[in-house]
Amino acid sequence: MTATGSTSAARARTAAGRGGALGVGVLGVGRIGRVHASTLARSIANARLVGVADSLGDRAVAVAEEFGVRVWRSVEELLDDEEVDAVVVASPTPTHARYTVMAAEREKHVLCEKPLALDEATAADAAATAQRAGVVLQLGLMLRFDADVVRLRDAIAVGKLGDIEIFHASLRDMAPPSAAYLSDCGGLMSDAAVHLLDLATWLVGPVESVSAQGARMRSGIDSGGVDLALTTLRFASGALGMLENARGASYGAECRVEVVGSQGSAKIERARSGNLEWRTPGAATVDLVADFLEPFAAAYRSEVGAFVDAALAIGPCRAGSDVAVAATRLSAAAATALEAGTVVQLDRVAAT
């Protein structure tokens, strides 16, 4: 989505009113919200963490004390605070679209964790509200902010790999999240595959059709439906894609991306913790991560920094409303394909 006149006006008001620093409130300070709060408090020069809110009051108090910021007792209290120019929505998935709309209606910029919604109509409504209000709406798709992924995209754009023929990607968690999280995250496609589906369109281009197969491999663990899924994509260019999402890889968390073109291929792998390699007689070992917070720490920081710059009108919005709606359209199509066991045709879903 491009900046409209009213967007510029809202951004200018923000910048002028805060002396150049964006006042931000974080809504939901669990796993990812605490990471974003920490980034805003410690790593972004032109932003100020004003405070946090969480339905678990004790959790909000603990995070607020850690960063020396205020605690709001409700979403409304956060959004009505005049020092808040922008909000990070990191509460559970079913709240995303509603909180985005509430924030936009108060002319607050929004960084909303993925997915914006589970269905396209709801996502589109929230995106339209943000556009009407003239605020920035960025979706939390951190892979777009990973330095290697950005380099790969730039290389593909200038033809370094030739015509892209195959896109392969996998995202494996070490263990499924809590039962409470699983009960309302929307399932594997909306919760996890959405990252890879968005990446596929961003790196390779519009997707024409999607099919998927799922399995439940970890019996005895409530993994909220299938815990392993393979999704295949046919791109409008003729290229093919294969995505794997797994809830419980047991040995560690791992993310891989490989793009194969007519003139070469490129691969990114994230599984290691640190750079130490241990060598003992006959063996070499490395440490593996248990989740994605460490391997994507820089990407999460870059994502928040880019959002702040976009809200202050000093940088582009790199994962805006259109991207958010397209991501929901694709993940909903993948969920339908998984459930019905059919190939779902799409109207050329492209990422901007």
Q: From residue 12, how far is each of 20, 26, 305 by CA, in Å?
A: 10, 22, 18
For ligand NAD, give the closer residue by CB, 130 or 142: 142
**Near ligand NAD by CB under 6 A: residue from 22, 37, 78, 90:** 90
Is 113 a binding residue for ligand NAD by CB under 6 A? The answer is yes
Q: By the 8 A CB rule, do 217 and 245 touch? A: no
For ligand NAD, give the closer residue by CB, 27 or 86: 27
Is 332 a binding residue for ligand NAD by CB under 6 A? The answer is no
Q: Within positions 135 to 154, which residues make up the interface with ligand NAD, using CB under 6 A?
A: 140, 142
Task: Please compute, for residue 197, the number of CA atoms within 13 A of its CA located in the half-sphere on the CB side.
Answer: 36
Is 55 a binding residue for ligand NAD by CB under 6 A? The answer is yes
Is 67 a binding residue for ligand NAD by CB under 6 A? The answer is no
**Near ligand NAD by CB under 6 A: residue from 25, 28, 187, 225:** 28
The encoded tokens of residue 73 equal 């007792």
Q: From residue 19, how far is each of 13, 85, 263 by CA, in Å?
A: 10, 12, 50
How many angstroms separate the CA atoms of 107 and 127, rounded? 13
Helices vs. strands in the chain: H and E counts, helices first = 12, 15
Q: By the 8 A CB rule, do 93 and 184 touch? A: yes
The overall longest dimension of the chain from CA atoms, in Å, is 66
**Near ligand NAD by CB under 6 A: residue from 56, 121, 314, 340:** 56
Contact map string, positions 30 to 49, toward ligand NAD, x by CB under 6 A: xxxx----------------
Selected range binding ligand NAD among 23-31, 197-205, 260-268, 309-317, rule: CB under 6 A: 23-31
**Near ligand NAD by CB under 6 A: residue from 1, 15, 27, 88:** 27
Is 322 a binding residue for ligand NAD by CB under 6 A? The answer is no
**Near ligand NAD by CB under 6 A: residue from 93, 100, 245, 331:** 93
Name the residue number minimizing CB distance to ligand NAD.
30
How many angstroms separate the CA atoms of 169 and 290, rounded? 19
For ligand NAD, give the closer residue by CB, 67 or 240: 67
> C-beta of 21: minimal distance to ligand NAD in Å?
24
CB burial of 146-168 (b: ≥16 within 10 Å; e: otherwise) equals bebbbebeebbeeeebeebbebb
Selected range binding ligand NAD among 87-95, 130-138, 212-220, 339-347, rule: CB under 6 A: 87-95
For ligand NAD, give the closer residue by CB, 54 or 309: 54
Is 112 a binding residue for ligand NAD by CB under 6 A? The answer is no
Q: Which residue, among 143, 126, 50, has the nearest Cα to 88 in the 3D structure?
A: 50
How many angstroms separate the CA atoms of 53 and 70, rounded? 9
Q: Which residue, among 152, 154, 145, has the nearest Cα to 168 in the 3D structure?
A: 152
Q: What is the DSSP letter of 343?
A: P
Neighbours of 170 (CB within 10 A): 18
Contact map string, positions 230 to 269, toward ligand NAD, x by CB under 6 A: ----------------------------------------
Is 191 a binding residue for ligand NAD by CB under 6 A? The answer is yes
How many angstroms separate the CA atoms of 218 and 248, rounded? 7
- By CB under 6 A, name the binding residues for ligand NAD: 27-33, 53-56, 59, 75, 90-93, 95, 113-114, 140, 142, 181, 185, 191
